[in-house]
Amino acid sequence: MADLSKLINMERVQMINPTPIYNKFKYVSAECGSGKTTALCNMINNTLNTKGSTEKFIIVQNTQKLATDTSQKITPCKLLISDLMPNSKNVINSVLDFLKAPVERVLIISDKTFFRIPVEMLEGWQIWLDDVTNFHSFKNVNDDNQRIKDIIYHDLMQEHEIVDEEKKQYLTAKKKAVKGGLINKIAQELSIISENDIFIMNSDYFNDPEKVQLSILGWKELRKYIGLPVTFMGANFENSLIYKAGSEFFELNRHG
């Protein structure tokens, strides 16, 4: 196996190419405990201390503890996780405010927060997803209020399509761009919708006034990030569900 520090540094060199073409995601695959995160932190610290460098980094991690530990290895950086937020402050709003006017060149956030960020706000950042391999979620919504049903169907989703024409039990849909402050608040409360892009659910929730429960399976559409400098790091990444579901979108970093 090539040295991890060399692999990760090669990723950084490729990302700052004057004419980059990001038509695939890069990935670094190694065993647990091999030092992937430490090598990433070392590379970023070296970059921050390099005269004339202007690169900016977003590190996405799957637990708040890991994010906190990583933040202690990079100086300076901005850590934005819910554990550090005052009760009145929303994490995603804090992240969006930061991206509009960054005060540091390194931002560390959770995967849940990352997938709520509009893609256009990620331009100009090198993105590293560290052991983030879960790209789907499931939730039951219990509410028989017809107005809520209408908002979910008409205001939060679009391109509805029945999956099984014979029984018409299941419905697919895509996330809709939210307009309006109130609708946006509802979308943020329904995290399965704000964090995902494509959905499959029981259609009778919308057709039957007495139906109380909506069961939603949602998953991320990673292709929307094609064109950005995104690198995945994971233990045996080739065996992850996300890689097997779309291996054509990934390219192994073989340098080093």
Q: Is the pLDDT of residue 17 over 70?
A: no
Least confident range from 125-134, 231-240, 247-256: namely 247-256
Same domain as 130, residue 209: no
Same domain as 215, residue 113: no
Same domain as 113, residue 48: yes
Q: Which pLDDT band holds residue 256 (cuts at 50, 70, 90)? A: very low
Q: Is the pLDDT of residue 35 over 70?
A: yes
Give the number of domains in the chain.
2
Same domain as 166, residue 120: no
What range defines the domain where residue 241 resides? 4-134+222-252
- The per-residue pLDDT for 224 is 93
Same domain as 232, residue 127: yes
Same domain as 117, residue 33: yes
Q: How far apart are the C-alpha atoms of 196 and 181, rounded to whole Å?
A: 19
Q: How far apart are the C-alpha atoms of 243 and 121, rounded to whole Å?
A: 25
Same domain as 77, residue 150: no
Average per-residue pLDDT for the chain: 87
The answer to whether the CB of 94 falls within 8 A of the CB of 83 is no
Q: Is the pLDDT of residue 7 over 80?
A: no
pTM (two decimals): 0.81
Residue 68 sits in a domain whose CATH number is 3.40.50.10810
Same domain as 127, residue 31: yes
Same domain as 241, residue 117: yes
Same domain as 205, residue 104: no
Q: 98-122: per-residue pLDDT in tens?
A: 999 999 999 999 999 999 999 999 9
Other Cβ atoms closer than 10 A to 209: 8
Q: 155-164: per-residue pLDDT in tens?
A: 999 999 998 8
The type of residue at 150 is: D
Other Cβ atoms closer than 10 A to 220: 19
